[in-house]
Amino acid sequence: MTNSAAELVALLDLERLEDNLFRGDNPPESWPFRTRVFGGQVLAQALVAAQRTVEGAGAHSMHAYFLLAGDPNIPIIYDVERVRDGRSFATRRAVAIQHGRPIFIMSVSFHREEPGLEHQLDLDMVVPPPEQVPGIGDLPADVLAGLPAPVLNYWKRPRPIELRPIGLGETVAAPRRAVWFRANGALPDEADLHRAVLAYASDMTLLEATTALHGTSVLGESLQVASLDHALWLHRPFRADDWLLYAQDSPSAAGARGLARGLIYDRAGRLVASVAQEGLIRPVRPLATPPATPTAQASA
């Protein structure tokens, strides 16, 4: 593993305090921009805590609410409630706690693997393979010069997940985005770990789809932005250290909230996960006049 991949694995290796009680650390000081806890970290650590109370079944769906911003200077306590253990399904409820208050709650459902009917919606975008998508350091100078400083800083930031956004800096005709991602290094062959890493990454870039039509970004300074909730469904086996395509769209933004959806495909085109998230996107300064709402969808 690379150092950053090893640090991510360590971040997701919780300390067991009691049968249903776990403690998760925050990233090392070497990770930049530690002003608050990243929501994907809490999502992934809560999933790990829940997974460690279940045997013989894999997580298939998670529904979570972000209640308070996390404090990056102290550990997070995860209290898991064993709601139900059935023959095919198990249910867990995980609460993340800091300073004596819940900052995050999540319900997780587990399912023992079994055969059944199969279908999927295939990817409806034409996207280049990840090897043909330039990293941030390989973008043309004119593209880099056109990106606002906060946006550029975000994409240049070192992280344990490698991101390759498609069409970064381009004007779009529909609220859609796509990005290739993978763990920044090989991971152990543990399915639960790969699920947790995908959960971690699923909170990255998704709300960008809510601002695609409005001449702004959740990474800039014109909006107050916060994830409000997060839902994740895991459909098929995958590896989080191989390239996955995150196809994102936003069906609605209104009332200072935006709804974003994501479909995650592996390189073979198999739909491995679906995501939905609502976020606060509250303007804190006047925005540029948005373009007219398009009447037809355009490919990313």
Catalytic positions are 203, 227, 277
Q: For residues 205 and 228, give the distance between their C-alpha atoms in angstroms, rounded to a whole number.
A: 14
95 neighbors 228 (Cβ within 8 angstroms)? no
Closest CA to 210 of 153, 257, 173: 257
Q: Which residue has the tokens 């102290």?
A: 74
300 neighbors 178 (Cβ within 8 angstroms)? yes
Q: Hey, what are 62's tokens?
A: 């998670």
